[in-house]
Structures are given as C-alpha cells and as structure tokens.
Structure 1
Amino acid sequence: MAQEIDSVDAKILDIIQRDAGLSVAEIADRVGLSSSPCWRRIKRMEEAGFIRGRVTILDNFALGLNFEVIASVKLALPNRENLQAFEDMVLAWPEVTEVMTVTGQVDYMIHVVTTDMHAYDNFLRDKLLGSALVSDVQSRIVIRVAKRTTALPLDLVENVK
C-alpha cells in the first residue's frame, strides 16, 4: 500500500518539483508552516521515496544541443539477459536522456539529445547499431517541443488525506 501524504505534503511536493532551488523558509512560507516542521516533512518525504532527487534543468538549445530524436529500438532477441544488457549499455551513453520499455512491435523508446544530425548519425552507427543486441532502430526527429515538464500531476494522487 502506498504511503499517505496530506494536502500540505502535496503542496510542498508541488512547490519543490517546480522550483527545487527555493529555501526551506520560502517553501514553509508558501504552505503556511514554520521552517522546522516544513524541513521535517521534506526529510520524511525524501526518506519515504516521494522525493528521489533535486536537479537543475538545463536548456539544451542554449547549450548547443539542438538535435533531439525519439528512437524506437527493437532487440535482436528480447530475453531477460538482453533486456538488462541493453539497459546497462544505454545507461553509459550521455546522449540518451530517457529509456522506456514499451509494449508493441518495439522493445524500447529512447530520447536522444545531441548537437546535430551528423552527431546523431555517429551515435546511431557506432553505438546503437554497433551493438549486436539491436536489430532495428526507427528514428523520429523532434521538430518542436510543445510541452516539456518534469512536474507530476499531484491532483491525481489518491492517497492524499
């Protein structure tokens, strides 16, 4: 059974998932608590696994990482060992920002971020297709991102007291 959170916890989570750079005092002020109880709630939610980490979201375009691809990857033989070997392999590739096991005709969808089409071609040839684990890759070039967020829809959480 999932651990319960109350409405104040949900507000805290919503605030920090949108801006993890806020101080505990700023978060406490926004939810109507003093700093110490707010800090204790945050620590409890970290220990419970609701908060996995805090990161800074970078702008890939400002950094010159202007080429994004969503690739469908089919393994040659999708057995337990090969699935794990593929996942271990892509974890080491910095160009891959997301890896999802999916249902259907392919085994994985991966999000790849790189500088340009030539860099992606090198990644595709040298890494993805260079692996005997992979039998097919279908690449979809991202033209424009209409929405990108890491914020979860906390209003859908059923275990809020």
Structure 2
Amino acid sequence: RLSTRADDPTALTAALRDLSSGLGPDDPALDLDLELAVADDGATELRGEVGLRPPTTAGARRDGEPVGPAGDDLAAMVADAVTARLEVALPGRVTRHDADGVDVGSRFGTGGSTLTWELPVGASRPIAASAAAPPVIAPWQLAVAAGGLALLVALGAWWWRRRRRPR
C-alpha cells in the first residue's frame, strides 16, 4: 500500500509524478498525472489521467534477447495479480465526480469524502472530482452548541419561575 499526504496541492501532484521518475519505458509504473486546485474558500477541483503501466518484458535475457512472456501476456498477468486503485480524500462534500466508489465520511459531517478509482492495466483513464469548501463548523458541533443553549435557556426559565413563585 502506497500512501502520501500533503498540505500543498503542488507538492502533492509533484510527489505523485515522482513515483515513476527514474523508471524506464519497459518498467512497470503507476502513471499518475494529476492537477489539484484549491480555491480561496477551500473548494477543491481534481483532474488528471491515471493508469498502471505493466512491464513490457519479464526482464530475463538470453544472448541479449528477452525471454519469457512479454507485451499483452504480461499485461494480462499483471491485471490478474494486481489491483491498483487511487483513493483521494477531499475535505468538503463532493459535488461532482466520476469515481468508481465514494465514501462520504461520517453522518455527523466530521469528514469529507473519499473517492476511489480503479486503475486500468496498460491504459490510462481520465478522472475528475470537485468538492465544496469544508464547513467552518461541523453539523454535529452546531447540534451540540444548539442543545447546550437550549438546556441553558430551559434551566434559566425554570430558575426564574421558581424564584417568582409565591411561598
């Protein structure tokens, strides 16, 4: 499992591109070409191309010639043996996406949404997602504050009525 975190969108997309730096065209690699834009209010926009590049040869050579499975055979073997997926957690409510799966976080609104795309072997696919700005106050925090305020008002009314009652 490969995972990374970044607070800066530029650093994140650069780190993902660097995953395949230094690899040759015959080497297997995650092809991740993503652009992440964050607006001033925190809304996010993700776009790009993703895929899994299988090896083109098994890497074994005899008398300088590659031996073993190659090309489509290797791609089929990789597709059978490897499940590659991209998971991206966005801080706000997802407003638009083309992901294969979405986890919207908790029902109390404490998290954003996690989107999942299955990466094709030997090809790339476009991806896109947009998320609204995350709330300043989570809904559960607002509910607790409103409940606390209602409790204080009820206690104040009870105390006031009790003091005003003749003895």
Greater strand share, structure number = 2
Query: Normalising to structure 1: TM-score of the pair?
Result: 0.25
Bigger share in helix: 1
Report 1 or 2 for greater relative contact order, CA contacts < 8 Å, sequence distance ≥ 6: 1
Bigger Cα Rg: 2
TM-score by length of 2: 0.24
